[in-house]
Amino acid sequence: MNCTKCDCEAVLHAAYSGAHLCEHHLRESVESRLRRRVRKDGLIGPDASPETPETWLIGLSGGKDSVVLTSILAETFAEDPRIELVALTIHEGIEGYRDESLDAASELAQNLDIRHEVVSYADEFDLEMDDVAETDPENMAPCAYCGVFRRDLLSDYAERFDADKLLTGHNLDDEAQTALMNFFEGDVAQMAKHFDASLGPFPERSDSTEFVPRAKPLRDVPEKEVALYAHLAELPVHMAECPHSSEAYRKEIQELLLKMEAQHPGTRHSVMAGYEELAELAARAYRQDGPELGECERCGSATTRDLCRTCQLTEAVHAA
């Protein structure tokens, strides 16, 4: 089958759009959707200038999504003095997994000539995920601990580096899964939080300054297309799955979405289109009624409790 846009051989059939794309037009399509999302969400602030550039911190794990995100952003803004990119890699302490992905992240940052910082759970929390997964003092999936620790470090270092935006490599599948999980759990408050934290265009979000605002420029691109882009562009990527990955509920949602997408192409896009509208309405309704944020008694982070979730979990791990 030839490409819909030229006579070259197609490498992908995007059933949701009906398009057959060759290597060149697939890469062009992924890049244009990311750049369109940057424009649509208003990532470049109105005050960004060569004299007062914005700093964007990218969570660079070395996996396909963050590698593709970093590569396209670096190419897009290479000659734009309004934007400075910084990549942050977090080493969780997972033997036989994170070292390889750190190598991929380091190679990419060096190839792109962007600043690359590395932090670790060992240095920041005096623990490693291998030990957390073994002791499991809260009787939770390892991903539950890791998600809290990673979010905390990303936010913390975004502030330390005086970043204006925090960017992550979440793709369309990731976001559609999260949307369905919030739907099925009936968690309207979480929908509202999702909109203001990372989903809505910047001009339409809450003006809260408690956290460095997040963005997900790849969230319009299906996971399969991100992976194919990384392969075709010959980017240094660590493709292995985390050995502690065990988000059983999310995997069920993932399988459901993939089945629905195969039978009804465009399901993921439809889920997100409706979800974004509802999340915005929820955000407007919940902004005035949200809990007041205080400071964690131990680390000073913003929290609604005496101790933030990170401090609670690290305390439990060390006591185990």
What is the structure's pLDDT at 301? 85
**Phi first, then psi: what are they for 188, rounded to 5°?**
-65, -35
Query: How far apart are alpha carbons 14 and 20 in whole angstroms?
Result: 6
For 285, the token pair is 């309704």
Say if strands 19-21 and 12-14 run parallel, antiparallel, or are unpaired: antiparallel
Instruction: Give 155's DSSP letter.
Output: H
Q: Which region among 34-43, 138-147, 176-185, 242-251 has the lowest average model confidence (pLDDT)?
A: 242-251
Of 210 and 17, more confident? 17
Report pLDDT digits (tens) over 216-248: 999 999 999 999 999 999 999 999 888 888 778
Q: How confident is the model at residue 259 (pLDDT cuts 50, 70, 90)?
A: very high
Asked if residue 107 has pLDDT above 70, the reply is yes
Average pLDDT over residues 168-197: 96
Asked if residue 252 has pLDDT above 80, the reply is yes
What is the structure's pLDDT at 244? 83
High-pLDDT (> 90) share of the chain, %: 85
Going by C-alpha positions, the residue among 83, 84, 100 that lies closest to residue 92 is 100
Going by C-alpha positions, the residue among 214, 222, 175, 215 that lies closest to residue 30 is 222
- Cα separations (Å) of 218 from 106, 176, 185? 21, 12, 25
Query: How far apart are alpha carbons 173 and 220 in whole angstroms?
Result: 9
55: three-class secondary structure by DSSP: strand
Average pLDDT over residues 73-87: 97
Asked if residue 320 has pLDDT above 90, the reply is no
**Phi first, then psi: what are they for 2, rounded to 5°?**
-85, 160
Q: How confident is the model at residue 209 (pLDDT cuts 50, 70, 90)?
A: low
| Sequence-ordered strand ranges (E) for 122-280 | 165-167, 214-215
What is the structure's pLDDT at 292? 77
User: Which single residue is written with the structure tokens 């399969």?
Assistant: 224
Distance of CA 188 to the CA centre of its chain: 21
End-to-end CA distance of the chain, in Å? 58
Going by C-alpha positions, the residue among 16, 11, 38 that lies closest to residue 27 is 11
What is the structure's pLDDT at 294? 86
Query: How far apart are alpha carbons 66 and 226 in whole angstroms?
Result: 10
Query: How far apart are alpha carbons 27 and 221 in whole angstroms?
Result: 11
CA-based angle 206:207:212, to the nearest 5? 100
Asked if residue 162 has pLDDT above 90, the reply is yes
Asked if residue 290 has pLDDT above 70, the reply is no
With beta carbons less than 8 A apart as the criterion, state whether 56 and 86 touch. yes
What is the structure's pLDDT at 27? 98
Average pLDDT over residues 169-197: 96
pTM comes to: 0.95
Average pLDDT over residues 83-110: 95
Distance of CA 82 to the CA centre of its chain: 23
With beta carbons less than 8 A apart as the criterion, state whether 60 and 88 touch. yes
> In the predicted model, what is the mean pLDDT of the chain?
94
Going by C-alpha positions, the residue among 115, 105, 126 that lies closest to residue 83 is 115
High-pLDDT (> 70) share of the chain, %: 98
Say if strands 83-91 and 115-120 run parallel, antiparallel, or are unpaired: parallel
What is the structure's pLDDT at 96? 83
Query: How far apart are alpha carbons 174 and 180 in whole angstroms?
Result: 10
Asked if residue 208 has pLDDT above 70, the reply is no
Q: Which region among 16-20, 95-99, 175-179, 308-312 has the lowest average model confidence (pLDDT)?
A: 95-99
Instruction: Please enumerate in sequence order all residues whose Cβ is within 8 A of that of 39, keeping only pairs 6 or more positions apart, or say none.
Output: none
Asked if residue 13 has pLDDT above 70, the reply is yes
